[in-house]
Structure 1
Amino acid sequence: MKKSLCVFMVVLMVVSGLFLAGCQKKEAAGPQKISIAFARSESNDTWLSYLHDAFAAEFASKPEYEIIWSDGQNDVTRQQDNVNAAIAQGVKAIVVVPVDTSAAAPMIRAAQEAKIPIIFVNRNPFVGSTPPAGVYYCGSDSVVAGRQQMEYLGEQMGGSGEIAILMGQLNQEAAQDRTRGVKQIITEKYPNIKVVGEQTGNWMRNEGVNVTENWLTAYPNLKAIASNNDEMAMGALVAIASTGRTGILVGGTDGNPDAVQAVKDGKMACSVLQNAKGQGAGAADFAIRALKGEKLDPVKWVPYELITPKNVNDYL
């Protein structure tokens, strides 16, 4: 009898210990965090890295949230798979810089079926339309960027001459609308300016170099290059310098630090600031407030700002 009692007491102590350990472990884990997925289009774009950092900074003092990052590697299918995987993991909201704005529908549908908000940032899938319920967009009006850039380049060209347009990825709203803005100003204000070349440099500096080298050979009277972003514009500057050509104006977009310095140094004519901090913070604000159930306007516009030698010190 004593032996049975001893065995019973030992078992009871072990079970009690396991129970207490389990309770302690659960208590140590603390409350479950609120997960927000951020589906990047890619991770090697300089300007987008500023946006990602700005988004993350908004949660630095909010320990109740966790960000789950994924990289689409510029592949539509991979990004869609990343979004589906995040939903399966149980995230409460999704933020997306879309690889292709025309391919946003499957991600929107998946988020709506899971009844979670989805926020698109920087690249706008809803040009000319309003996002559906539970879907949001934070970014800048890319047509405005093209118009501001061309207004300044046109003035510096004296209203005449040949210009070429370095375009971003052709399936993206930013490339399409910035180019559209450039052409609008030429049509409205500068009929004596002729567009002699249009080619994509896929947002990349090295491709900006290659495209510009070809243009410098093909167009000996080229007077200006309007670039859809600063990375390609910086590549254009490299190509121009390597040939010893002078007098060719280069305008960029984004307001990247090296481009702003190039404006300061007189190498680049202008850039147009696309506010990465404003867009990143705006996307974070959408996610947080949507999760709280607040009623929100579906679109938040972050203004562009023209950077020229006259005001460049404000952006250094």
Structure 2
Amino acid sequence: MKLSPRLSLGVLAGLATIGLALTGCTNTGAPTGGSSNAAPATQSVKAATGPTCSLSDYKGPKIDLKDAVVGFSQSEKEDNPFRIAETQSITDEAAKIGVKKLIKTNAQSTLSKQISDIQDLISQGAQVLIVAPLNSNGLEPALKTAREKNIPVLTIDRQLNAKACSDYVSFLGSDFVSQGKRAADQLIAGTGGKGNVAILLGSSGNSVTTDRTKGFIDQITAKAPDIKIVAQQTGEFARDKGQSVTEQLLQANPNISAIYAENDEMGLGAQAAVIAAGKQPGKDIQIYSVDGTKNAVSQIVAGAYNGVVESNPRFGPLAFSTLKSFLSGEPVGQSIVIEDSEYTPDNAASKVDSAY
């Protein structure tokens, strides 16, 4: 992840705090979206209008990150590319800017462990917390512990059902409803607006699943009345579960012509199930998903997958630039939405090396 000499992440975060929309502008100086020749290696701010949060609002002390102990709570075991890239980005940026100490934990997809992990980070002296929540609800005990000590909490990639600038400082992440809509647009274009579609839902209890489902269904309903959604079942964001669920769905609904998976891992599991059923993925049954992993994008290049909407996990630079602004007393947006690219048969070959 590299900062552009023209427009740094710190500048982007600063612009975000005063509510400027930066749609179409990336850290690399290239336009974002499906028409760009390369997926952005870093994150750019899509829009950050709305309320801000400052240190005076939060009642915390000013902190220099070079003198700080920062805790990072990862929610899921790192057996998929999104979590691997996310943790690596936080780790790399902490080293790059010279954070005094970074302490990392992994909740292994268990909510009770994430609560205890965050409390352990605090007991180990963490003065600042970056949290990738497992679920939108349930972290209240950990947030309460942090708030009682005025420890700033920055949340990334999944939004909490809690109060910004009170229970936590800010959320950094994608527009998940938009991701669902864009995946629907890809599927509509690829199928000609006709067919029977199965949805592989993500894990229940978090904003990602809820919003990606809503965006997709709303867009299909509004734009493609000849597409019928014949099944919806959770694959829990896991490849093996995505495969087993798809096998069951194909047996129950042999007329399925397209699959929307709410992450690439489930999409790749669905691809394996399609092959096992004696059909050609990408042709007999089209597959669309959200994430932007190199594994999935490579399958588009191979003609065995049809489209991917990116969900950029490289939060390190934007997270630390946001924290730096906040901890120095500057206001930051309570919700900072990033710009995501996308991959199609037309651009996947030229963009695959920028996937994660």
Q: Once the 2 structures are TM-superposed, how far is the Cα of residue 56 of structure 1 from its aligned partner?
A: 1.3
State whether structure 2 residue 127 is matched by structure 1 residue 92.
yes
Q: Provide the rounded CA distance (Å) in 2 between the counterparts of 1:52 and 1:92.
A: 19
Match of 2:112 in 1: 77
Q: Structure 1's 92 and 130: CA in aligned 2 closer, same or farther, altered over 3 A?
A: closer
State whether structure 2 residue 288 is matched by structure 1 residue 258.
no
Q: Provide the rounded CA distance (Å) in 2 between the counterparts of 1:104 and 1:68.
A: 19
Which residue, out of 218, 229, 238, partners 1:195? 229
State whether structure 2 residue 251 is matched by structure 1 residue 217.
yes
SS at match of 1:199: strand
User: TM-score, normalising length from structure 2?
Assistant: 0.76
Match of 1:286 in 2: 322
Q: Structure 1's 80 and 311: CA in aligned 2 closer, same or farther, altered over 3 A?
A: same
Q: Structure 1's 213 and 111: CA in aligned 2 closer, same or farther, altered over 3 A?
A: same
Q: Structure 1's 231 and 64: CA in aligned 2 closer, same or farther, altered over 3 A?
A: closer
SS at match of 1:111: helix
- Percent pairwise identity: 29
Residue by residue over 1:124-146, the C-alpha shift from the partner in whole angstroms, topping out at 9 and shown as x without a partner, is 1159x755375111110111111
Which residue, out of 54, 59, 62, partners 2:97? 62
Match of 1:22 in 2: none
Residue by residue over 1:14-40, the C-alpha shift from the partner in whole angstroms, topping out at 9 and shown as x without a partner, is xxxxxxxxxxxxxxxxxx941100011
Q: Structure 1's 205 and 92: CA in aligned 2 closer, same or farther, altered over 3 A?
A: same
- Which residue type is aligned with residue 68 of structure 1? I
Q: Once the 2 structures are TM-superposed, how far is the Cα of residue 234 of structure 1 from its aligned partner?
A: 0.4
Which residue, out of 312, 331, 334, partners 1:298? 334
Query: Which stretch of the first structure deviates more once superposed, 171-180 or 282-291?
Result: 282-291
Q: Once the 2 structures are TM-superposed, how far is the Cα of residue 173 of structure 1 from its aligned partner?
A: 1.1
Q: Structure 1's 93 and 142: CA in aligned 2 closer, same or farther, altered over 3 A?
A: same
Match of 1:237 in 2: 271
CA RMSD in angstroms comes to 1.8
Q: Provide the rounded CA distance (Å) in 2 between the counterparts of 1:262 and 1:210.
A: 20
C-alpha contact (below 8 Å) 2:143/2:167 kept by paired residues: no
Match of 1:143 in 2: 177
State whether structure 2 residue 145 is matched by structure 1 residue 110.
yes
**Larger CA Rg, structure 1 vs 2:** 1
C-alpha contact (below 8 Å) 1:108/1:135 kept by paired residues: no
C-alpha contact (below 8 Å) 1:131/1:137 kept by paired residues: no
SS at match of 1:163: strand
Match of 2:155 in 1: 120
- Which residue type is aligned with residue 168 of structure 1? G
Q: Say which structure, 1 or 2, has more relative contact order (CA 8 Å, 6+ apart).
A: 2
User: TM-score, normalising length from structure 1?
Assistant: 0.85
* Structure 1, gaps ≥5 residues long: 1-31
C-alpha contact (below 8 Å) 2:116/2:142 kept by paired residues: no
Q: Structure 1's 236 and 33: CA in aligned 2 closer, same or farther, altered over 3 A?
A: same
- Which residue type is aligned with residue 309 of structure 2? V
SS at match of 2:155: strand
SS at match of 1:194: strand
Q: Provide the rounded CA distance (Å) in 2 between the counterparts of 1:151 and 1:234.
A: 20
Q: Structure 1's 162 and 64: CA in aligned 2 closer, same or farther, altered over 3 A?
A: closer
Q: Structure 1's 64 and 121: CA in aligned 2 closer, same or farther, altered over 3 A?
A: closer
Provide the aligned length of Structure 1 versus Structure 2.
Answer: 283
Residue by residue over 1:161-193, the C-alpha shift from the partner in whole angstroms, topping out at 9 and shown as x without a partner, is 110000110112111111111101111101111
SS at match of 1:276: coil
SS at match of 1:60: helix
- Which residue type is aligned with residue 164 of structure 1? A
C-alpha contact (below 8 Å) 1:136/1:286 kept by paired residues: no
- Which residue type is aligned with residue 318 of structure 2? G
State whether structure 2 residue 270 is matched by structure 1 residue 270.
no
SS at match of 1:147: helix
